Amino acid sequence: MTIKSKSPELLSSFLLRDLKLKNRVVLAPLTRARAGINRMPNSLMAEYYSQRASAGLIITEATVISKQGIGWLNSPGIYLDEQAEAWKQIIQAVHDKGSKVFLQLWHVGRASHSSFHNGELPVAPSAIKLNGDEIHTPQGKMAYEIPRELKTEEIPLIVEVYKQAARRAKEAGFDGVEIHSANGYLIDQFLQSKTNKRNDRYGGSTENRFRFLEEVVAAVTDIWPANRVGVRLSPNGVFNDMGSQDYLETFTYAASQLDRVGLAYLHVMDGLAFGFHEQGEAMILDDFRKVFSGPLMGNCGYTQESAELAIASNQADMIAFGRPYISNPDLVERFRNGWPLAPDAEMDVWFSFEKEGYTDFKPYQSKSVEQ
């Protein structure tokens, strides 16, 4: 006998501003590296997203806005019209399953290597090296380098690149875009005092460090209505050597300022499964509810039970699931029917560049029982 889900809130429909979602389960953006050396969306990616389109909302893997923003092998792009055209097959595959899809806009900043950039150093708000493990590059594993500090006059040019990427995403037919301001990538590097030691109008005070994100949001909302633009933050994260002593002040201020925009949602990586900087008490969704009145999305380490509790208690409106979605393409169906989850896939198959470890995970099949 099938055990019915105990997730009436998680699986209920939700009006995300003007978009009706069939449930509150979100496919988190997961870098899967299947776009090839030309960073071109393709039919394999369309199959992958279609398999997982029982989610109410899909956020695509991080998608680079420019060649300068590259820092992963085979990640997709949105800096060419041809790439925007190629995304259409994926959008259609998701829409055919009744789901909505946002494109995540990405610039990695210092989390890159000169081998991605014809020998030019990666850029960052300040010339501070990422203290971390080796990075995978076109020439194999390499040590991180000291990035080049961006000149003040270069920064508005990058803001304009975000705007053009947002334009391409809209022309391709996405339902919205998410600005990646988390996990130690470029916008997060500007936001946090650990990585931003500038003495111009983009550095120093909390207000100045927020300025780059503020300008990116303003540029993107010139293309999209604000209610189709999300922003992702990682207040507790240590990934890419992050974690600032003034994180409470920084992220509270950022969320309060973003509240004025009328965003589609604020996507907060509140869970600690991705690492914790231990600069103080972890920020929780309630901290953001106090200063952000719009839709709030939790992420990182949630189970079906904890996600249901977060929504039922009004801590969150949606919950994004990452790793469970890799090996459980039918995650919503498993939640709904009380079916067990498949074990997490081994990390060495996540980035095979082929269908293995990507589209070859099977939906749940009940075992027949002899009577």
pLDDT single digits (tens) 308-351: 999 999 999 999 999 999 999 999 999 999 999 998 877 777 77
| Backbone dihedral region for residue 307 (phi beyond 0: left; psi -120 to 50: alpha; all else: beta) | alpha
pLDDT single digits (tens) 37-67: 999 999 999 999 999 999 999 999 999 999 9
Over range 9-17, report the average pLDDT.
Answer: 98
Stronger pLDDT, 68 or 132, i.e. the higher one: 68
pLDDT single digits (tens) 259-305: 999 999 999 999 999 899 999 999 999 999 999 999 999 999 999 99
The helix/strand/coil state of 129 is coil
Give the residue among 345, 321, 343 at the shortest CA–CA distance from 332.
Answer: 321
358 neighbors 34 (Cβ within 8 angstroms): yes
- Tell me the CA end-to-end span of the chain in Å, nearest whole number: 13
Over range 175-181, report the average pLDDT.
Answer: 98
pLDDT single digits (tens) 67-121: 999 999 999 999 999 999 999 999 999 999 999 999 999 999 999 999 999 999 9
Query: pLDDT at residue 238 above 60?
Result: yes
pLDDT single digits (tens) 204-214: 999 999 999 99
The helix/strand/coil state of 136 is strand
pLDDT single digits (tens) 295-307: 999 999 999 999 9
Q: What is the pLDDT of residue 2?
A: 41
Q: What is the pLDDT of residue 349?
A: 73
Q: What is the pLDDT of residue 370?
A: 34
pLDDT single digits (tens) 30-41: 999 999 999 999
Q: Hey, where are the domains in the chain?
A: 14-349
Give the residue among 110, 95, 112 at the shortest CA–CA distance from 58.
Answer: 95
- The pLDDT mean for the chain works out to 95
**CA dist., res. 309 & res. 297, Å (int):** 13
Q: What is the pLDDT of residue 366?
A: 66
Crossing angle of helices 81-96/43-51, nearest 10°?
Answer: 30
Buried b or exposed e, range 161-179, using 16+ CB within 10 angstroms: bbbebbbbbbebebbbbbb
Q: Which pLDDT band, with edges at 50, 70 and 90, does 1 fall under?
A: very low
pTM over 0.85, yes/no: yes
The helix/strand/coil state of 141 is strand
Q: Which pLDDT band, with edges at 50, 70 and 90, does 367 fall under?
A: low
Fold designation for 14-349: TIM Barrel (3.20.20)
Query: Can 162 be counted among the known catalytic residues?
Result: no
DSSP calls for 273-334: TT----SSSPP-HHHHHTT--S-EEEESS--HHHHHHHHHTTS-SEEEE-HHHHH-TTHHHH
Query: pLDDT at residue 164 above 50?
Result: yes
Over range 139-143, report the average pLDDT.
Answer: 95
Residue tagged active-site, from 185, 247, 302, 325:
185
Q: What is the pLDDT of residue 5?
A: 61
Q: What is the pLDDT of residue 51?
A: 98
Query: pLDDT at residue 4 above 90?
Result: no
